[in-house]
Structure formats: C-alpha cells, structure tokens
Structure 1
Amino acid sequence: MPLIPKSHPRAKSLLIREKLVKGFDNGLVAKEGLLAQGRGEAFDYLLGEKTTKSAKKAIRAAAAQILLAERPVISINGNIAALCPKEIVKLSKQTKAKLEVNLFYANKNRKQAIIKILKKSGAKVVLGSNISTSTKLPRIDSARRVVDKNGIFVADVVVVPLEDGDRTIALRKAGKTVITFDLNPLSRTSQTANITIVDNVTRAIDLLIYDSKKLSKKNHSSLRKIVDDFDNKKNLSENILEIRKNLTRGAKIA
C-alpha cells in the first residue's frame, strides 16, 4: 500500500481507496464495488465528510434495534470485508448477530475470500457458502436472493451495509427490519430501510460498536423507546438539509 502522508488533507479518503484496491487485488471486491465507492465518496463530500447529528441519532437507534432483535444478522459484501472486517466481527460478537456473506456479483472464490478474511479477523462462523442450507428470498431476481436458512432467511433484523435497493425492498416485504449504511439519503435503500445511517461506514461502525456496548446495559423498555422515538423520514430529511446547507455555504464562498 502506498505511503499516504498523515498531513494530506484527504488522507482518510485516500486510505479507504487503497483498502478497496487491495481488496480488489485480493479477490474480495468486485470491479463494480470500486465504482460504488466513488459514488458514495461524492455524497460524503456533500455531507462535509463528518458524522452528522442525525447520523449519530440513527446509529443509536440502530444499536438499540440490534440489541432488541431475537435473530439479528449482519450481511457482508466485498467492500465491507475490505474496509472494516475486524470492526464488523467485533459488532457481531458484541450483539450476538450472525454474519452472512451475500453478494450481488456472486462467485464461489470471492465468497471464500471474504469468509477467510472474516475468520482471520476473529469470526468463528460465517454463513452464506453452504449449499445444503441455502434457500431463496422471494421478490428478488439478483444473486442476492440466495440466502442461508439459518441466517438472513429467518432473521428479524438485518444489518445491510452498502446495500442495493432491490434487496432492501425484498427484505422489508419479507417482514424484516432493515438497518443500512448509505451516504445517499435519496437512494431506494435509504428510503426503504427502517433505520438509515447516512454516514461513511468506516466512521460509523466504531460509533455503532460503542453505542451497542453502552446500550447493552439498558432494559428492554428503554431500548424500545429509543427505536420507537426514531423517525427515519425525519432522519433522511435532516441529512438532505445538511447537504443543502453545505452547498449553499459553498456557493457563497464561490
């Protein structure tokens, strides 16, 4: 990995790019995943490359929702495996959420590479590669319809970082509560999910881990209130207004 000076004004963003390129070279990330990163990075610019107050509220609600779940599952794709495998495994252990690999551009070798990096990061069990326990999620035509009978198929809460809209819709129609990370508050995923964390996953994941640990001491009714008080439509509106504010500020400077 090239040396990126800490003094570089966009050092963190460049580091993320390098992680994804390395992930691509190691068979984790699809070419299309690199394109998706570029789109997300554009929205991160518009959000000021920071975790907004609205995102922090969404992260807290997400932590409460995962802790309330009876059968939580974290869905893993190549970008997540390349960017924050250790953090995802830590969140899984802390919340007792299962890990399942689920890919849009699926192939056996890439699945195995992702499972390998997750296990190297401390995961004991990773679902998504056993044909004998696979089944299909209704109302979706892409390869992501293939899920594990013991994972996403029976989950009540599914955490889907860097998700595509079709599967988010399918998961909601299947009666599941969906939590997603999406830098674009206008996307189908953001608009369809129950809780949308409009933030860069590499920033938000540590906060989600922190809030999950902190809220684990709360009782069921306290957690339920946090979730019930959260309004995703309001959350998305606030993030859109944040983008408008940043654009207006930029226009004044120009």
Structure 2
Amino acid sequence: MSDEVEVPESHPRYHSLLTRHRIEAGVEKGITSQQGLIAQGRGEAFDYLLGEETIPSADRAARAAAAALLRADQPVLSVNGNVAALVPEEMVELAEVVDADLEVNLFNRTEARIERITDHLREHGATDVKGLTADARIPGIDHERAKVDADGIYSADVVVVPLEDGDRAEALGEMGKTEIVIDLNPLSRSPQVASIPIIDNVLRALPNITDHAEELAGASGDELARIVDEFDPDEALQDAERRIRTASESGG
C-alpha cells in the first residue's frame, strides 16, 4: 500500500502505528468514517491484551473459515470503511483464492462513499465489486446496512464480515447464512452470534485464512465438512476471553 507511515519495522509499535496511519489515510480519502477511528482504538486495546499475536484457537477458527469458504456455493466477503482502509489487498487475495465476491456494505452509506471504496478496491486488484446496486434488504434492520445486492450478500450462503456491527451480524445469522466474523472482542455481539468467530486482528486473520485456503485447496468435500463441523465457536470465544482476562489481571 502506498503512502505508508515512515516508521522502521524494528519499532516496537510498528504495526500499531501502521494501522493507525491507514485508518487516518482512509478518513482523509473519504473511505473510512470518523467513527472508524474510535473502533480502531477499541480494537487495539483488545489486541494488546491478546499479546498482539494469533492465538491457537484463532488459528483453528481461520482454518475452519477457509474450509467453509471453499465448500460454499456462493461466498461473499463484506467490506466496510475500516476493512477497505486496512486490508484491501488481503481481501482481494482471499476473494481470488476461494472464488468469492466482494461487496461494499456501510452503516454511514452514501453513493459517493461506496464508489470511493469500490475504486480503492479496484486499485488493489479487484475486478468486480458489488454494493452499488443495493436491490435487496436484510430483514429486521432499519438502517443503511440493510441495503445489499440481491446477487451478493442477500443470496450468499457463506459471508465473511470483518469488523462487523452486531445487529447485521445477528440478522445474517437469522437468514441461515454461515457467518464468519473477525473481531478482537470475544464479548461483542458479532462474534457471539457468528458461526465461525475469529478473535484476531484483521491484519493477521485475513492472510491466515488465505494461507489455510491454499493449503486445503485439494481437500475433498468430506474433509472440508469435517473441519467445519469439528470447530467449536463457544470454545474459541472462551479461550480468547481467558487470554484477555489473564493479561488484564497480570497488568498486560
């Protein structure tokens, strides 16, 4: 990604500073809302308590996510402002590996912002991005995130929703979709209602899902189904919560 912050990788807070810069740049470009800055700060706090690393339960969740995407009939990766600012290339790469569509979906939605994010994704390799048509609605939601493409999120069987708000996450689950949520707070409603919650930083989680998908590319349908079925979302959430509470009690 161009215009990265000039901080040496040896700096102990390199990744944190890099992430903040990407969000700031996203706000300046009109990709990310100012509320995204607050969400990023909240996530950083949880990541610090997780040790700023992918814990084993999150890695298992990423593997289950890869298996679910590979066996899906119509997988879709949902993109909001923070996701577009933080991991555009990673979203495009994952979409290519698992043959998924990308769809922009925003709480603070305007046509101009949708177009800016779409252009941003195309600059990072995307060829087809959904979200502008918005010819369907997710039942039970009365704000702008209800607007989705009929041939995208609305009809998808598996949806990846990084950095998601809880009400849409719950509504997608009620539609019978397999929902893969990436969130750093295991107590948030989004991972609590997800089929596969990945409690990890999106910068680590997306490449990890892609790596697992490439590894599992030749697996049989039965093997992919076994990986998904054996994954326990409650165990993953409890493991992440234990890690955070232990770090908090020991002072980080």
Tell me which amino acid in the other structure corresponds to 2:48: Y
Corresponding residue of 1:215: 216
Corresponding residue of 1:174: 175
Q: What SS is found at the alignment partner of 1:199?
A: coil
Q: Does 1:63 align with 2:61?
A: no
Corresponding residue of 1:160: 161
Q: Could you tell me how far 1:205 is from its partner in structure 2?
A: 1.2
Please point out which of 14, 20, 24 is paired with 1:17. Answer: 20
Taking the TM superposition and a 5 Å limit, the aligned residue runs for 1:118-129 are 118-129=121-132
Which stretches in structure 2 are left out of the alignment for 5+ residues? none
Q: Could you tell me how far 1:177 is from its partner in structure 2?
A: 0.8
- The 8 Å contact of residues 50 and 247 in structure 2, kept in 1 or not, is answered as yes
CA–CA separation in structure 2 for the residues paired with 1:23 and 1:162: 15
Deviation track 1:199-232 (CA, whole Å, cap 9, x = no partner) reads 0000111111100111111000001000000000
CA–CA separation in structure 1 for the residues paired with 2:124 and 2:10: 29
Taking the TM superposition and a 5 Å limit, the aligned residue runs for 1:95-134 are 95-130=98-133, 134=135
Corresponding residue of 2:225: 224
Q: Could you tell me how far 1:168 is from its partner in structure 2?
A: 0.5
Runs of 4+ in 1 over 2 A off after TM superposition: 247-251
CA–CA separation in structure 1 for the residues paired with 2:142 and 2:178: 20
CA–CA separation in structure 2 for the residues paired with 1:191 and 1:171: 13
TM-score (norm 1): 0.95
Q: Does 1:93 align with 2:96?
A: yes
Which stretches in structure 1 are left out of the alignment for 5+ residues? none
Corresponding residue of 1:38: 41
Between 4-13 and 48-57, report the one with greater CA deviation.
4-13
CA–CA separation in structure 1 for the residues paired with 2:250 and 2:219: 40
CA–CA separation in structure 2 for the residues paired with 1:86 and 1:182: 19
CA–CA separation in structure 1 for the residues paired with 2:206 and 2:157: 21
Q: CA RMSD in A?
A: 1.1
Please point out which of 3, 28, 31 is paired with 2:31. Answer: 28
Q: Could you tell me how far 1:99 is from its partner in structure 2?
A: 0.6
Tell me which amino acid in the other structure corresponds to 2:234: K
Q: Does 1:72 align with 2:67?
A: no
Between 33-42 and 3-12, report the one with greater CA deviation.
3-12
Q: Could you tell me how far 1:2 is from its partner in structure 2?
A: 4.2
- The 8 Å contact of residues 107 and 144 in structure 2, kept in 1 or not, is answered as yes
Q: Could you tell me how far 1:130 is from its partner in structure 2?
A: 2.1
Identity of matched residues, %: 48
CA–CA separation in structure 2 for the residues paired with 1:7 and 1:99: 34
Q: What SS is found at the alignment partner of 1:73?
A: strand
CA–CA separation in structure 2 for the residues paired with 1:63 and 1:217: 12
